[in-house]
Structure 1
Amino acid sequence: MKRILLHILFWTVYLLQDSIMQFTWTVAPLPRISDAERMRLAIIAATVVAIPKAIFSYFVIYFIFPQALKYPGRRWQLAALTTVVLAVLILIHRYINYYLVGPVIYGGAIRSIPVLNLAYLLLTVMDFGFVSGFAFTFKLLRMQLTGKEREKALVQDKLQTELKFLRNQTNPHFLFNTLNNIYALARKRSEKTPEMILKLSKLLRFMLYESGKGSICIAEEIRIIEDYLELQKLRFNERLRIHFHKQADEEGTRLAPLLLLPFVENAFKHGVSETRFNSFVNIDLRLENNVLYFVISNNTDEGQMQPEQIGLGNVRRQLELMYQDYQLQVTNAAQVFTVNLTINLLSHAKI
């Protein structure tokens, strides 16, 4: 429907300018006719003589051009065919002017120029070239715009697929780690096992029904981190000190789901789980004016936790896909591993 409207608009504009030219040329030959009547006759005449031009324009756009793209070796044959069709349509155009426009539409008040008059034949060729050239140019522009939209859609589909793949890698990773924790408690016949399973079910419910969304409230992300920390407290008992400070000026602010949890998970998997004494995890989460500040630190054995070995590549790639304004700094110094993340949540990209 949009394409039809564009075609109607193009020919309406062309016929309007051609009618105005006809109206101007007929002022002297038709002095006794009112302007309204002369304009009506000009519109009729412009419409009639535009028929061969429209036929040639659509012939070039929808037959010659696609054939030239599909069969590059046949361009000379197509050029010859175009020349023949152009010559035939020019003759038809000249016959319409000679036998219909002057004698019939204008009632013989305008002198008809002979069909094979060389000067008018050249003017007709220029007229055909003008119309078909503009039509062809608009066709190319529309193809270019359509191609860019298609390319943009393909890029978005690729990014969405990549993002889903990254999240699907992260979620099973988290699940398997937690199941291993429950398994360890079950072997010890710990009374904490049922409570841990219950908390895991809450986390699974969140991952199944919420993590697929484009964004969630910051309050939901905080709640999922708290549930995960409770699971770890059940596992490590007094051996682990956890400090989680959170402050959000607007808890309804939205961010990508499960974006912060992988950092917390890595602090336990590659930090706490590998240390023997005085393990700690400190988390500071602040939200101020739509800017998220997230700092997490944990103790490690000397040289144990290397930034390139802790599996944060997926999260880094998710950040690249989802946010245009962010900073991620990972440091390992003096047996303390720290992740410092700052995100401008207003820079969320539309994928």
Structure 2
Amino acid sequence: MSDYLWQTIVPLIFFSFIWMLFRNLEKQQEIETVKKEHTKMELKFLKSQINPHVLLNNLNTIYSYSLEKPNEVPELLLMLSDNLKHVLYNSNHTFVPLEEEIEFIDNYMAFQKLRTSGVKNIVYNTNINNLNLTIAPLLLITIIENAFKHSATNSDIVIEIETNSNTITLKCSNSFQQHKLKDSGQIGLENLKKRLALLYPKQHQLNISSEDLFIVKLEINLNSTE
């Protein structure tokens, strides 16, 4: 009787253990799937908060030039077309070629230099020595837009973008109006922090200071396409 029970119980315990193990693995897979879907949904929502701001600024620039300098409108429309293509198509990807993202920012800066001519002094420099990189779309533009949005009238905005090996660095500085900064709640930068945490965990550094100038410095370790 004792031998019979032993021969019966041992297989039951063994197969029960196997069943629990596989069941646990299935649950872990389900949890990972839910996490991935949640991350995708959150990133899509965060990017949807950014896109309208970029396009609205460009449209406002074109509208003002259609009244004051209509001869320059065709070139602006062409740049806007390129930016629309980037926002509508490339922003749906998790990562895009760095070269395309820099072209998008170049167009944005061209708009801003025209729109703020005689009002703000803009210094924009790039030193991109590695184009074989990919980056999450519409990350850098958040910092740049923030500088224009909160900078004081008749002030300087300095923007520098460079790559060193697989690291890209964006440094942006501008004077700012304290009350406007508080009123906005820095929504754009909070959005940026969330995206960076999701896309580049432990692969980025974001430093923000707001003493005499509002300075944002972002470093990201990017992926190479090679």
User: Which TM-score applies when normalising by structure 2?
Assistant: 0.89
Q: What amino acid is aligned across from residue 161 of structure 1 in structure 2?
A: M
2:26 paired residue among 146, 149, 152: 146
The structure in which a higher percent of residues are helix is 1
Q: Cα deviations across residues 102-160 of structure 1 (Å, max 9, x unaligned)?
A: xxxxxxxxxxxxxxxxxxx3312211111121011000000001101110110110011
Alpha-carbon deviation of 1:303? 5.7
Q: Secondary structure at the match of 2:162?
A: strand
Pairs within 5 Å for 1:1-351? 121-188=1-68, 190-271=70-151, 275-277=152-154, 279-301=155-177, 304-306=180-182, 308-309=185-186, 311-325=188-202, 326-334=204-212, 336-345=213-222
Q: What amino acid is aligned across from residue 24 of structure 2 in structure 1?
A: Q
CA contact (8 A) 1:292 1:342 kept: yes
Instruction: Say which is worse superposed, 210-219 or 141-150, in terms of deviation.
Output: 210-219
The separation in 2 between residues aligned to 1:332 and 1:310, in whole angstroms, is: 16
- Name the CA shift for 1:192/1:237 in 2 (closer, same or farther; >3 Å): farther
Instruction: Say which is worse superposed, 249-258 or 295-304, in terms of deviation.
Output: 295-304
Q: Secondary structure at the match of 1:211?
A: helix
The separation in 2 between residues aligned to 1:230 and 1:182, in whole angstroms, is: 12
CA contact (8 A) 1:247 1:285 kept: yes
The separation in 1 between residues aligned to 2:215 and 2:46, in whole angstroms, is: 23
| Relative contact order, higher structure (CA 8 A, sep 6+) | 2
Instruction: State the number of aligned residues.
Output: 221
Amino-acid identity (%): 31
**Aligned-CA RMSD value:** 2.0
Q: What amino acid is aligned across from residue 215 of structure 1 in structure 2?
A: F
Structure 1 residue runs of 4+, over 6 Å off? none
Alpha-carbon deviation of 1:301? 4.1
The separation in 2 between residues aligned to 1:248 and 1:174, in whole angstroms, is: 23
Alpha-carbon deviation of 1:170? 0.6
Alpha-carbon deviation of 1:302? 5.9
